[in-house]
């Protein structure tokens, strides 16, 4: 079974630029999560989708971050404009609707904002 | 979990010894806990979970202990191997919450 796929794996941008990350969850997983993991810390949930609807985006900085999952499968996370403090690993995870406690994580996208 | 900023707690053990990684949680309403392993450059990987109606659960070479009285969780790894070197995170979820809250992690290094 293929795991959660993410791209790109690495991205370096300058502050005030825009960046987008892509995630393809495990086939059949209705729930998709985006996490931000700052160096030395645990992952922090940014947004959770169930199919193509948002379940929880309470910790998403909506002035600069946006995410979508238009067809209920792939998802993109965008930052516009980026700040220095956005440097982090952005992790995507997915889970079955009937077992949302078991989340499968992708390898993450490492973002460096200069 | 406790926040330690940029400085992860570290644990070094000799290959073959047992490892114990600790985690303190703060939400007394948390009723589900998970341990994840994160190797360098990879996403977190599920190791073992435990619900609050249990105080111990065993897997293959791993045991999780839960002490609700002092809000403490531990992960025991038997006969630690070089492949166990990674950062280990505990995560908790309160019954009414949808999201997992992760601790800051412990860096385990296995010495040859």
Residues 6+ apart with CB under 8 A from A105: A4, A35, A91, A92, A93, B43, B44, B45
Closest CA to A33 of B52, B23, B24, B93: B93
Task: Tell me the HSE value of B101 on the side-chain side, using a 13 A CA sphere.
Answer: 19
Does some domain include residue A110? no
Q: Chain A residue with minimal CA distance to B88?
A: A42
Closest CA to B57 of B30, B35, B87: B35
Q: Mean pLDDT across the stretch A5-20?
A: 97
**Spatial contact of B109 and B58, defined as CB atoms under 8 Å apart:** no
Distance of CA A88 to CAs A15, A29, A45, A107, B3, Å?
A: 14, 25, 13, 13, 17
Domain ranges, ordered by start, for chain B? 10-111
Query: Are B43 and A106 a contacting pair at CB < 8 A?
Result: yes
Kindly report the average pLDDT of chain A as a whole number: 94
Does some domain include residue A33? yes
Task: Name the A residues in 77-106 with CB < 8 Å from any B CB.
Answer: 91, 93, 100-106
**Spatial contact of B57 and B4, defined as CB atoms under 8 Å apart:** no
Other C-beta atoms closer than 10 Å to the C-beta of B75 total 24
Q: What is the pLDDT of residues B34-53, one digit of tens each?
A: 999 999 999 999 999 999 99
- In chain A, the number of structural domains is 1
pLDDT confidence band for B28 (50 / 70 / 90): confident
- CA pair distance A87, B101, nearest whole angstrom: 20
Q: What is the pLDDT of residues A66-99, one digit of tens each?
A: 999 988 899 999 999 999 999 999 999 999 877 7
Q: Chain A residue with minimal CA distance to B3?
A: A41
Does some domain include residue A113? no
Q: Can you give the C-alpha Rg of chain B in angstroms?
A: 13
User: Which tops the pLDDT comparison, A83 or B97?
Assistant: A83
Q: Is A24 on the interface with B (CB under 8 A)?
A: no
- CA pair distance B100, B15, nearest whole angstrom: 32
Other C-beta atoms closer than 10 Å to the C-beta of B35 total 25
Query: Are B99 and A101 a contacting pair at CB < 8 A?
Result: no
Domain containing residue A54: 5-95
Does some domain include residue A112? no
Q: Is A42 on the interface with B (CB under 8 A)?
A: yes
Least CB–CB distance from B99: residue in A45, A104, A107: A45
Kindly give the pairing relationship between strand B106-111 and strand B10-14: parallel
Does some domain include residue A78? yes
CATH number at residue A28: 2.60.40.10
Least CB–CB distance from B102: residue in A43, A101, A107: A43
Tokens (6 digits) for A86: 């956005």
- On the 0-12 / 13-18 / 19+ scale of CB atoms within 10 A, B32 is middle
Second CATH level (architecture) for the domain B10-111: Sandwich (2.60)
Give the pLDDT score at B1.
38
* Phi–psi pair at B83, nearest 5 degrees: -70, -10
Instruction: Decide if pLDDT at B96 tops 70.
Output: no
Does some domain include residue A107? no
**Spatial contact of A91 and A43, defined as CB atoms under 8 Å apart:** yes
């Amino acid at each position: 079974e293929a795991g959660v796929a993410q791209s790109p794996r690495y991205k370096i941008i300058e502050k005030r630029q825009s960046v987008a990350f892509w995630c393809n969850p495990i086939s059949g997983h209705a729930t998709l999560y985006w996490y931000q993991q700052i160096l030395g810390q645990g992952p922090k949930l940014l947004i959770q989708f169930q199919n193509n609807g948002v379940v929880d985006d309470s910790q998403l900085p909506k002035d600069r971050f946006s995410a979508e999952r238009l067809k209920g499968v792939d998802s993109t996370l965008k930052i516009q404009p980026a700040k220095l403090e956005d440097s982090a690993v952005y992790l995507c995870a997915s889970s079955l609707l009937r077992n949302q406690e078991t989340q499968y994580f992708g390898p993450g996208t490492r973002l460096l904002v200069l | 979990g406790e926040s330690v900023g940029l400085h992860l707690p570290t644990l070094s053990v000799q290959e073959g010894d047992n490892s114990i990684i600790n985690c303190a949680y703060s939400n007394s309403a948390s009723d589900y806990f998970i341990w994840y392993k994160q190797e360098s450059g990879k996403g977190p990987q599920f190791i073992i979970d435990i619900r609050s109606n249990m105080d111990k659960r065993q897997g293959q070479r791993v045991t999780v202990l839960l002490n609700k009285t002092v809000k403490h969780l531990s992960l025991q790894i038997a006969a630690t191997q070089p492949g166990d070197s990674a950062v280990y995170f505990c995560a908790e979820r309160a019954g009414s919450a949808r999201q997992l809250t992760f601790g800051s992690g412990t860096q385990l290094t296995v010495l040859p």
